[in-house]
Amino acid sequence: MTGHRTRLDATTGQILDHLDTRHLPAGELLLRCGNRRATRCPACSNVYRYDTYQLIAAGLRGGKTVPTSVSTHPRLRHPHRPRLRPRP
């Protein structure tokens, strides 16, 4: 995106914030495209990859709104991998 934006205080008219894309490093405001494919947009696909990791990790060990008691629940395992002994 290119252009400028100015936020003003409605009562006083004072400038609160001003952004002009000409002063940004790329000369434009970069926005996420939201594509999950690495071949289309590596930056956005990394964001989705990290988000997916966090969701899976929270489901396995708990966190945010997931209770930590989920870490004691059984998890699925690959049928051809040997079962690991639980850690003491």
pLDDT reported for residue 18: 92
CA of 62: how far to CAs of 56, 59, 69, in Å? 9, 6, 7
Closest by CA position to 68, among listed 59, 77, 55, 81:
59
Q: Say whether pTM exceeds 0.75.
A: no
Summarised one tens digit per residue, pLDDT across range 8-52 is: 999 999 999 999 989 888 888 877 787 888 888 887 888 888 888
